[in-house]
Amino acid sequence: METVTTEKKFLEKNELEKLNEIQEKTKRLVFELGEIEMFKIQLEQRRNQAEDFLETTTIEEKTLTSSLNEKYGHVNINPETGEITKLD
């Protein structure tokens, strides 16, 4: 029959410190990765908004160009002054 010892064993101080250090590093890493994922989501949302804005702006540009072509014909327009130059 085996005897059961009730003697408790503990890690050496430097082993416990190293274990705690590694656990703390792991916690910081998990936190950092979580923040990175949040940034990725936010960037994706910003990209989607920018793509929507691009689509809207492109439609506005096409609409204006069509309207100006109907009104003035085939012309060149200086966007700074509004001067219209007839194209041959």
What is the predicted pLDDT for the residue at 2?
Answer: 72
Tokens of 82: 């509004």
Classify residue 77: in a domain, yes or no: yes
Classify residue 49: in a domain, yes or no: yes
What is the predicted pLDDT for the residue at 18?
Answer: 98
Range of the domain at 57: 13-86
Phi, psi (rounded to 5 degrees) for 8:
-85, 145
Classify residue 8: in a domain, yes or no: no
Classify residue 6: in a domain, yes or no: no
What is the predicted pLDDT for the residue at 29?
Answer: 98
What is the predicted pLDDT for the residue at 10?
Answer: 94
What is the predicted pLDDT for the residue at 1?
Answer: 64
- Distances 35 to 14, 26, 41, 43, 49 between C-alpha atoms, Å: 31, 14, 10, 12, 21
- Domain count of the chain? 1
Tokens of 28: 């910081």
Rg from Cα positions in the chain: 34
Q: What is the mean pLDDT of each run of 10 residues along the chain (88 residues)?
A: 80 97 98 98 98 98 96 94 90
- Distances 62 to 53, 72, 76 between C-alpha atoms, Å: 14, 15, 15
What is the predicted pLDDT for the residue at 5?
Answer: 73
Classify residue 60: in a domain, yes or no: yes
What is the predicted pLDDT for the residue at 6?
Answer: 83
